[in-house]
Structure 1
């Protein structure tokens, strides 16, 4: 499954990238995030790996994030791997005006289990909605300083 999500953030690209690339800020816009653990490389640089631990009710999920391309301020591509699925995300940041940035996220969900294949087929909107929610949370955090915590 592939989909694209876009959002306009009314802040400069330098401010957007500064907040986006800060691991300490993830907790302010990624719902369910419990912890981050550096595995290897320099954070947000090519090849860097980090373990993200999420909790959604009684369900815990560990995700390994790998940076596959980093050309700030314009691009950051990452792969998220967990049980059953690999998400390849290409993030593009474009200056719209002096104080506005367009964030475009292109996502490819690749199931690695039968169960996840069925979920992607039967409920693609769940994945799309989660991406849109995270992007909206980030926009609110950057523009208004609003944290989900």
Structure 2
């Protein structure tokens, strides 16, 4: 399953990257986020791995992030591996003066029970969740009071 999304953030690219590139900010824009734990490699560099934990309803999920490219401010790519799903995420950030265009290319590969569930949930559900994260990041970055943060 593959899809692309994009959103325009009303901030210069350097400000967007400053907020995007800080794992401490994930709690402000990723609903269900519990924790981020660096596992291996130099933090924030290609090949580094981290454990991310989320809670949706009564279900907890853990995934391993591996950075595959970090050429900020232009791009940040990673893979996210969890039971039954492997996600390839490519993020591009385009400078548009006082705005930033964030383009996200997403690819999922499923196995086991997740393959069955993904078939019934459909691409629309995954796309909707990805877009929600992007919209929440936009609101957080632009200073929406709902996403109050110290950064």
TM class, shorter-length: over 0.9
* Structure 1 residue runs of 4 or more that deviate by more than 3 Å after TM superposition: none
- Match of residue 120 from structure 1: 118
The alpha-carbon deviation at position 44 of structure 1 amounts to 2.3
- Equivalent residues, number: 147
The alpha-carbon deviation at position 8 of structure 1 amounts to 0.3
- Match of residue 44 from structure 1: 44
Q: How does 1:74-85 map to 2 (within 5 A)?
A: 74-85=74-85
Q: What's the TM-score once normalised by structure 2's chain length?
A: 0.92
The alpha-carbon deviation at position 148 of structure 1 amounts to 7.8
- Report the Cα distance in structure 1 between the residues aligned to 2:39 and 2:29, rounded to whole angstroms: 22
Q: RMSD between aligned alpha carbons? A: 1.4
Q: What's the TM-score once normalised by structure 1's chain length?
A: 0.93
Q: How does 1:68-147 map to 2 (within 5 A)?
A: 68-96=68-96, 98-113=97-112, 115-123=113-121, 124-145=123-144, 146-147=146-147
SS at match of 1:125: helix
Which runs of 5 or more residues in structure 1 are unaligned?
Answer: none
SS at match of 1:144: coil
